[in-house]
Structure 1
């Protein structure tokens, strides 16, 4: 009886042709409503305006129809959250073939209208090849191509211009009829030089992209609709292939998605005739290019896409789809066309010793049993010491799979995936490898697991009992099914002592910001390391670099191994006496070699935003033992599995100590977070931070914001909305914060006056003061005072002073004043604090003074 039921269940659980979870977003637990705030505003407007266009019934019905047709509400929520996590112009570049405008204009306009009405603004660029060919042939002119490039003589150029303008107007008009504001942009974006004037005539090779017209369009709430016309610096119009122009746009904007709309709807496997679902270039590119069916245009397209993605963030991807499937590709787990990502190479081992220890521990700490303290990492590793296992992981270990091969059928013992691993499709890549290496496999998952559909799609049979599901694939005989289900039944029976949180496929993630009650760890004043460590400082010329060098000079265990500055290369380093150091001008390859030689213990990246990544990538490619501290904002918004946020007073010091890469917080962000953290449980709205910094915060490159003459008797506001520190403070505290920065005439030091809406009657002035003193008890670099702290007193001090607490008469608002030296605790001192934790020294070693305190 049991055998018959199991056989039926095994057959009925077979999923054919499903690609659920291809994007890998099922595990992300979002709390956002269906529409972004921008989309909600648009829809509210649509409800109140009865005129044809934005508020028309036709527009609203289009949105509803598309929403109902693409997938579940959960899927749409997840992808909206993902796509609205970047600036509006970084959502997507969509290249539209000219044939689609001729043959599928209504579908194209509806799909773009859908995106517009959910608050997304793709950059749309279209071609016009078929229309040009038709007009040339009508005039008896044979289109001429050399190596796939259209030869564009003056006669052809006049036709190209006419067709581009016609198709652009046609698409813009179709969008406006659906209530979409659209702006035609037919010139002024691409600057080009002649590709080969003698050979191709008026054909361009793009040399630069002007983003201003596109950004202005989006800022005005209009979709930018571009042609691929380019101009020389002298004003000559040149024809550029639309695919090439789309790639140039992608390099300029670094979008999450680059979409090519074509008639085939993806890359077709020439052997099987099936559409290729996913291509992970790092893992598959070389083998793919050797396939017999990959030739001619397919090979060229793959090579071009690889060259494009090699220079884009790993979060970017290319999708090749037909227009009817655009919304399905963007907003469902299963997708529609061919998605191409860089991915990661996968590592395979026969024991846990095959992986770097720190990364392995961090991956294992995602397991619920280990996170809850029921099982330690060491105990788990000991328990599988003599087990016959095979392990799989990607290079940064966003996904770790441990397969127990001792049983009749191999079993997934652990499958641990970070949020980044799901977002970047690494889980699918790993599981595809498991299917290749194991003809049969079993695993268990909780019934309410957010990714349950992903597990069903990767299985061929399943059995549910008491809230837990046993999955398998590759088992075709009934006897084996019975044998794997029997022990599962014993384990999950009500009388068994089973840990209900255990789960081979676990990716429970803490929020991106910290929960203060659980994340704070007391200071690590005493260190265990007394050996000398070598520091490499990249970007040593600036104010922060100078202060850090001074701190290292006084540190009992740190020594500089090299300092790098392009401007100071070849000059001797002054103010450092432990050894003679000459400024170098290191390249990423130089850093890679130093890392391979093992001469650096910690790297400090004191570079502007968006500059350090090539150095970090080069260093991490060696997989050495050094630590990296990044002082820019580049890694402040990534998961802890990529880089740990280094604010010791609020974050987990143990996590900082074990991290391979640490994101040093911003100066304003440090002061604001420390000033706001004790009030988080009482807040009823968004705090407002009025910040003023000395002009050293504007860096060493001359500008009005660091010119004493301009600043004399003056105060300059700047970046009054969407400052990167506003995003940093809000993200880390988990609550929206308004931040208004200003620069003043003094050199260093920051003062912030912060107004905080709180629960009415919950706080008094005395209670607020005692609340802060208790919260920061034992923190040597945070001082609490009842007086208003002054910025002139904080200059040269290595901590933060918070005070001046006031509660308004209505008892629903608290005002707090915080001060910090932007070059010290706001940068160099905090960096040294993180170095000390990372290298096992006492947290305050080498930090000479704490701020004055009256607490």
Structure 2
């Protein structure tokens, strides 16, 4: 198969679908670093103040609670790739200033704290109507435009200045420097003096006052008043002023703040998530519900975007959701962009410019033989069936070969896309078009492809061999998967698509020293363990569910799920070799739970179990091999590491004990290839170690990590219970936690003495508990934690009191949690408060309750977790594979092991 390498680096998808529309799935694509964009000005402006820089990291941490750190960093890189004035134009309606000033100023403060300077222009229409009504002046409109006589203009000018100062002063109160700009920016002529009187048509935009404000470190706050060359002030609609400002500044984003939070499909009453105008404008205009204000808005935005770079997009959003719209893949309002119309060709003669086609195929290839290799490929296309998908500028090109007599699968042979193509969302549009035409598809990508997770998201299954990953979708028959696996392991790519064509192309590529190779990239670095040798026992993978868009967070990485009837067992595994595991310290409850999980894990091979107290005894509960407890010393561990005998070391030791063993592993020459997962608190605050909580930490970070600190069980449930509301906090959350006595360990103490606990509950470490520090450190906010131990054996319950800065309803909060954790197989959001009885023995966290105080500004959230499963063992095992989660108890440990060792995230974890 011939596959071409993309020219761009990381990409984050924003997948949104217009309600009640079937033609295509709409998605957003923003690259990791969009530098040197061809916009009008390259002038750089001053950096934010020292105070702002000092709080930037804190704000980024807070933003990471509505999306992943990867998303936040990508969008920050994108937004800061242009001069400050070209980040965004934000139009603020008068009703927003009146009803949502707190949300508006908080959102603008967030942007400023990360060094961004949106240009804000506001109106005051509702306030003006009220003032005129109180003054006995009846507002007059002609064709939707306010007729403005001298008296009306006088009232409007005074009102605009008052509203402008109200916004500026509120920002200043929050420590944000802002500059009111009520004149000198918009030049105008009379729109139609006889008809509208003192209403202007903007014919000039002076950028100097805006640049001066930004240079001084101030947010520019503009009114929508304009002046004629003679100095006559004219009234201008705020939407019109924002549009003209955008034409002059050519920003990356144009934001219209709206109380409704977006445009709605009146047929379904659902919010329209995204619109690609080039593809969908005619379709939308033909819909019966697209009329009145919605129709006019879409038309005006199309006229505006037609004159701006394709990198510019429009967002219609509520101010409370502005951060989510700008910094997450899923967004929150309605995103409108031009997009690109796609073309197709099924014969070489249908390409209007064959030289251009070859140029596109060559552009990603290095080496002197590039042209010759591409010539041979195009010659092969001339005599074989194919379908090509591309845009007019050929920023994206995909070539698919249909099923042949020897295969029922279509083959994606070539996929190449430029940076411009990513910025204008062609990648997802092309793939959607391919999927519409081809019900079954297979393709191959290099395993070090930076965008590997993009392909995992598009695929329903995958298989790895010899540095390549084969993906597919549309295969439902187990025998078909088995046949595909056999062909791939025996023959590699030559079996894909038309056998003769593929063999010919494969030979042509082999003839060159650098054959045309893999395709796209996304921001997932090479998966560390994929280079492991591929064996005949390789397992195919299968994905049955996707993550949905989130309200309080977009997807961080991706979640894999277990097929109820998997043909061969694992999902999205990149490693086919069993991992050799050593468990250091296994006498406690967590160690026993982890041993049980490893026993049922198809890809984990437990080799050594160390326990000083049990040395010499036979290990019970593990059936794969006979194991005797050992009393391994640090020197024993060093020798084993030197010989590279172990793939993963699990440290199940008390706090403060494991450092000599970690040092011993790192002294051995095999330390670079082995993973260490520490269940204690010793490394949870060490920046060199990855914190293994996949629902809140980027999964790719865990997958790449070799040193993973497993979260505490208390801390896991508390963080998951608080994280979705971090952006809405007005103060310190308080966590009242109660654990069963297994959480007190196996060493006798009053906290695990059943007689002492009978009819009793014991508080302990009432302040400064290590979990209090852990929770606060990871969430980026101060949290109070009050632990207790009770009579039951296993399971933890948290009752969490959370103060809110704005009034919210229980339903709103529950929706935030449901959408934040959508697709997370080990987090369940319920309406009722969960109970310890229902969570005990299960591999997950349950969150519910959502009791809101009568003020609307305090909510009580309840969270439960089994400290012996999701709290530790499950999270640990998830971390052991490049696609698993972190370590909460044996369950979390399992997740982390899976992720870091290249196995499916939930492999070996019962998802009951």
TM-score by length of 2: 0.48
Q: 1:289 to 1:489 in 2, by over 3 A?
A: farther
Find the residue that maps to 2:231 and give its secondary structure: coil
Partner of 1:520: none
Distance apart, 1:183 and its partner CA: 0.5
Where do 1:477-626 residues align within 5 Å?
Answer: 477-491=477-491, 505-506=519-520
Match of 1:386 among 383, 403, 411: 383
What is the match of residue 115 of structure 1? 111
1:209 to 205, 209, 214: 205
Alignment-derived partner of residue 82 in structure 2: 86
| Alpha-carbon offset, residue 445 of structure 1 | 3.0
Q: Does 1:226 align with 2:222?
A: yes
C-alpha distance in 2 between matches for 1:27 and 1:21: 20
Q: Which moved more, 1:369-378 or 1:445-454?
A: 369-378
Deviation at 1:18, TM superposition (A): 8.8
Contact residue 209 and residue 252 of structure 1 kept, 8 A: yes
How far apart are the structure 2 equivalents of 1:367 and 1:203?
Answer: 54
Residue in 1 aligned with 2:745? none
Displacement after TM superposition at 1:484 (Å): 4.2
- Larger mean CA deviation between 140-149 and 342-351 belongs to 140-149
Structure 1 range deviating more: 95-104 or 484-493: 484-493
Deviation string for 1:124-163 (max 9, x for gaps)? Answer: 1112122223333444554433322223333433332233
Partner Cα separation in structure 2 for residue 314 and residue 151 of structure 1: 35
**Kept after mapping to 1: 8 A contact 2:461/2:472:** yes
Q: Quick one: distance in 2 between partners of 1:27 and 1:491?
A: 36
Cα-to-partner distance string for 1:327-360 (whole Å, 9 max, x where unaligned): 3333333333333223333221002332212221
- Structure 1 stretches lacking a partner, 5+ long: 1-14, 47-53, 510-855
| Alpha-carbon contact 2:185-2:209 (below 8 Å) kept | yes
Residue 25 of structure 1 contacts residue 422 of structure 1 at CA under 8 Å; is this kept in 2? yes
TM superposition shift of 1:390? 0.4
Deviation at 1:41, TM superposition (A): 5.8
Q: Superposition pairs for residues 593-672 of structure 1, below 5 Å?
A: none
Equivalent residues in 2 for 1:382-461 (5 A)?
382-406=379-403, 407-461=407-461
Alpha carbons of structure 1 residues 16 and 194: separation in structure 2 relative to 1, 3 Å: closer
Check the 8 A contact 1:182/1:223 in 2, yes or no: yes
What SS does structure 1 have at the residue aligned with 2:382? coil
Is the Cα–Cα contact under 8 Å of residues 460 and 473 in structure 1 kept in the other structure?
Answer: yes
Question: Distance between the aligned counterparts of 1:314 and 1:437, measured in 2?
Answer: 27
Unmatched segments (≥5 aa) in structure 2: 1-13, 19-24, 37-41, 497-502, 524-912
Partner of 2:360: 363
Partner of 1:304: 300
Over aligned residue pairs, what C-alpha RMSD do you find? 3.9
Q: 1:295 to 1:113 in 2, by over 3 A?
A: same
Shift of 1:88: 2.1
CA distance in 1, matches of 2:482, 2:366: 28
Per the alignment, residue 538 of structure 1 pairs with: none
Mapped contact 1:21–1:454 kept (Cα < 8 A): no
Residues 155 and 25 of structure 1, relative CA distance in 2, 3 Å threshold: same
Indicate the residue corresponding to 1:333 in structure 2.
329
Paired residue for 1:322, among 310, 318, 322? Answer: 318
**C-alpha deviation, 1:169, in angstroms:** 1.3
1:91–1:122: 8 Å Cα contact kept in structure 2?
Answer: yes
Residues 463/263 of structure 1: CA separation in 2 closer, same or farther (3 Å cut): farther
Q: Is the 8 A contact 1:417 1:507 kept in 2?
A: no
1:62 & 1:137 partners in 2: Cα distance? 46
Separation in 2, partners of 1:342, 1:459: 27
Change (3 A) 1:384 1:169: same
Cα deviation for residue 416 of structure 1 reads: 0.6
CA distance in 1, matches of 2:452, 2:101: 38
Query: How far 1:389 sits from its partner (Å)?
Result: 0.6
CA–CA distance in 2 between the matches of 1:16 and 1:425? 10
Structure with more relative contact order (C-alpha pairs < 8 Å, separation 6 or more): 2
Pick from 29, 38, 41 the counterpart of residue 24 of structure 1: 29
1:18–1:457 Cα contact (<8 Å) kept = no
CA contact (8 A) 2:446 2:467 kept: yes
Aligned partner of 1:543 in structure 2 is none
Report the Cα distance in structure 1 between the residues aligned to 2:376 and 2:69, rounded to whole angstroms. 41
Q: Which residue of 2 aligns with 1:352?
A: 348
Q: What is the match of residue 339 of structure 2?
A: 343
Q: 1:325 to 1:254 in 2, by over 3 A?
A: same
3-state SS of the aligned residue for 1:206? strand
Pairwise CA distance, 1:249: 0.6
- Equivalent-residue separation in structure 2 for 1:343 and 1:379 (angstroms): 33
Structure 2 residue matching 1:336: 3-state secondary structure: coil
Q: Which residue of 2 aligns with 1:97?
A: 93
Which residue of structure 1 aligns with residue 247 of structure 2? 251
Q: Deviations over 1:230-274 (max 9, x none)?
A: 122332222111110011111112222222121233332333444
TM-score (norm 1): 0.51
Secondary structure of 1:205's aligned partner = strand
**Offset at residue 392 of structure 1 (A):** 0.9
**Measured at CA, do residues 91 and 251 of structure 1 come closer, stay the same or move farther in structure 2, by a change above 3 Å?**
same
Separation (CA, whole Å) in 1 of partners of 2:85 and 2:34: 25
